[in-house]
Structure 1
Amino acid sequence: MRLRLGISKPKTLADELREISKIKAAEEKAKKKKEKSKMRELAKSEAGIMFYYLKQEFVISAKDGRDHWICNSDYFKKIMVRNGLHSDVDYLYQEVKKICKQNKIRTSSSVNWDEHTKTYEFYWG
């Protein structure tokens, strides 16, 4: 078996299509990364507003003798609309979770697949 040096195979259509798709995929990946970064920054700026509202709910719940407050994703979104918040719900929850941790409030979320909703739980007891 001999190696033929200096002679390259001609490009096939599949090779050209692969190159085109790799370039486009890289562009799309960069675009999505930039969008995610913007959404995270927006969520960081809005998390304080959301926590301020949630804090009022926590106080009401504590005055009723409870050591927790629970809401579903629909109510969480309604709170966002009332306060003029426009970030992604999941990113906002992650940022609120950080603020809660600083205030020694434990958080968790669970998904109800049947109803397509999430439940957000906040505990301080």
Structure 2
Amino acid sequence: MWLKLGRSKPKSLADELRSLSKVKQTEEKAEKKKEKAEMKELAKNEAPIMFDYLKQEFVISAKKGRDYWICNSDYFKKIMVRNSLHSDADYLYKEVKKICKRNKIRTYSIVEWDEHTTYKFYWN
């Protein structure tokens, strides 16, 4: 009957709740995107510090006759703590990987079944 008289259909409670939740979801999504961008920028700034430390590990490994260096996520995070690095380990690894590529060091990571990650660096 409301269509015949030119009035709009009254909003149901579900419609109001849906619109409220969409507003909140949009705000949260924008906030997460901003936090992610900040963490990526922080990792980009901290990557050279991490690479300088890893470079020392690579030299020690090369002096032992190895053409690789491997560490797990626990050790990687300990290195971060020692060097006062506060970014996310995954973002930091991605930025370090870019620096390694420029220095002709290949690297990859493997996520183990127990959710630990192994980082491998090769220069052969």
TM-score over 0.5 for the alignment? yes
TM-score when scaled to structure 2? 0.95
Match of 1:75 in 2: 75
In the alignment, which residue of structure 1 is the partner of 2:118? 119
What is the aligned partner in structure 1 of residue 93 from structure 2? 93
Task: Give the paired residue count.
Answer: 122
TM-score by length of 1: 0.94
Q: How do 1:43-82 and structure 2 match up within 5 A?
A: 43-82=43-82
Q: Secondary structure of 2:69's partner?
A: strand
Query: 2: distance between equivalents of 1:68 and 1:5?
Result: 78
Q: Counterpart amino acid of 1:19? A: S
| 1:13 aligned partner | 13
Runs of 4+ more than 3 Å apart: none
Tell me the distance in 1 between the aligned counterparts of 2:92 and 2:6.
57
User: Could you tell me which amino acid in structure 1 is paired with residue 119 of structure 2?
Assistant: Y
Q: How far does residue 5 in structure 1 lie from its aligned partner after superposition? A: 7.3
Letter in 2 for 1:71: C
What RMSD over aligned residues (CA atoms) do the two structures have, in Å?
Answer: 1.2
Q: CA deviation at 1:6?
A: 2.6
- The one-letter code of the counterpart of 2:123 is W
- Map 1:98-113; keep pairs closer than 5 Å: 98-113=98-113
Number of the residue aligned with 2:40: 40
Q: Deviation at 1:69?
A: 0.3
Partner SS state of residue 109, structure 1: strand
Per-residue CA deviation, residues 49-72 of structure 1 (Å, 9 max, x unaligned), is 000000000011111111100000
Q: Which amino acid in 2 is paired with 1:74?
A: D
Q: Percent identity?
A: 76
Mark the runs of 5 or more structure 2 residues left unpaired by the alignment: none
Deviation sequence 1:17-72 (CA, Å, 0-9, x none): 00000000000000000100110111011000000000000011111111100000
